[in-house]
């Protein structure tokens, strides 16, 4: 595991062979950066708990290189995202955009860091359906760009598609609260079913699962 001092040294003198980003999504603020918790006001977490009626499912710490740009994705969480240093740029697409966002099937890989500091991609089982491209490439999809500066908090509702860019050494903390699988989710799944690229991919997966099930029965 890379130590924090080594991580900071490396993003100050970046290598073209690696783009470093602390972005574990397993409540790493509690499990790996608990020393920082006393420096963070509990007000935001308490306010979120009051609004959403439940404790956060995860509290995450984020820090990285300006070259770290996320793929476009959505989360099944209500997200309170607070920037502590620098700024983040969110490009957002509303949930109904899923009717027009192109999707593709991606093979699963894992990044593994070798002892000499190099990285290799290790194939994993299965494939994942993912949004293909970025919002600026989708001429039929409307997007909103939001810059979240130091001290700002963004409420990112569940199921909103987003791509995130950041300034150098940007530091942020976020709280994920479980979404409600109510009518909103039903409408979203209906809209997904109207997307031709998604429909064909899902049919392919369903056929594979049925074939595998019949083979083992």
Separation of alpha carbons 115 and 121, rounded Å: 14
pLDDT for res 207: 56
- Of 172, 131, 146, 153, the C-alpha closest to 23 is 172
**Residue ranges of domains in the chain:** 4-216
Residues lower than pLDDT 50 in the chain: none
Name the CATH superfamily, with its identifier, for domain 4-216.
Jelly Rolls (2.60.120.10)
Task: Enter the pTM of the model.
Answer: 0.88
pLDDT for res 59: 96
Beta-carbon contacts of residue 93 (< 8 Å; ≥ 6 apart): 72, 101, 135, 138, 141, 142, 143, 144, 160, 161, 162
């Amino acid at each position: 595991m890379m130590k924090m001092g080594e991580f900071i040294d490396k993003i100050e003198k970046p290598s073209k062979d690696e783009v470093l980003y602390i972005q574990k999504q397993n409540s790493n603020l509690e499990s790996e950066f608990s020393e920082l918790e006393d420096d963070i006001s509990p007000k935001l977490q308490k306010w979120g708990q009051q609004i959403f009626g439940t404790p956060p499912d995860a509290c995450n710490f984020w820090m990285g290189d300006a070259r770290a740009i996320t793929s476009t994705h959505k989360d099944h969480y209500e997200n309170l995202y607070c920037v502590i240093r620098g700024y983040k740029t969110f490009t957002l697409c509303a949930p109904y955009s899923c009717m027009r966002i192109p999707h593709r099937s991606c093979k699963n890989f894992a990044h593994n860091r070798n002892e000499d500091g190099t990285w290799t991609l290790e194939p994993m089982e299965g494939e994942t359906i993912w949004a293909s491209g970025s919002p600026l490439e989708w001429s039929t999809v409307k997007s909103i760009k939001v810059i979240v500066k130091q001290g700002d908090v963004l409420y990112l509702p569940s199921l909103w598609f987003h791509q995130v860019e950041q300034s150098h050494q940007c530091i942020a903390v976020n709280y994920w609260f479980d979404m409600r699988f109510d009518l909103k989710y039903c409408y979203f799944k209906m809209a997904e079913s109207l997307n031709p690229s998604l429909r064909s991919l899902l049919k392919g997966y369903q056929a594979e699962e049925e074939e595998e099930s019949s083979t083992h029965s």
